[in-house]
Amino acid sequence: MQEYLLNTDHKISTIPPSESEKDVVDRYQVSKKTVATCDVVMAHVSVFDEGNAYQLAIALDSKKYVLLLVPSGDSRNEEISRIRDSQLRIAQYSDNKGFRTAVDGFFAEMMNKLDAKLFMVIPPSVNKYLDWVLVHTEKSKSDVVRAAVEGVAAKDEDYKSFLSKSNS
Give the integer Cα–Cα distance in Å for 62 and 57. Answer: 8
What range does the domain containing 157 cover? 124-166
Same domain, 85 and 136: no
Query: Quick check: helix, strand or coil at residue 89?
Result: strand
Same domain, 23 and 63: yes
Helix count and strand count (H, E) for the chain: 8, 3
Give the integer Cα–Cα distance in Å for 129 and 93. Answer: 52
138 located within any domain: yes
Give the integer Cα–Cα distance in Å for 112 and 88. Answer: 16
Q: How many CA atoms lie within 13 A of 56 on its CB side?
A: 23
Same domain, 6 and 86: yes
Same domain, 136 and 84: no
pLDDT grade, residue 10 (50/70/90)? low
117 located within any domain: no
Each as own residue / partner, the long-range contacts of residues 49-54 (CB below 8 Å, 24 or more positions apart, any chain) are 49/17, 51/15, 51/17, 51/18, 51/24, 51/27, 54/28
How many domains does the structure of the chain reveal?
2
Give 35-93 pLDDT, tens digit per residue. 888 888 888 887 667 777 888 888 898 888 999 998 988 888 788 888 889 999 999 99
| Better pLDDT: 23 or 111 | 111
Give 137-152 pLDDT, tens digit per residue. 888 888 899 899 999 9
The answer to whether 139 and 133 have CB atoms below 8 angstroms apart is: yes
Mean of per-residue pLDDT scores for the chain: 83
> In the chain, at which residue ranges do the beta strands (DSSP E only) sit?
40-44, 65-71, 88-93
36 located within any domain: yes
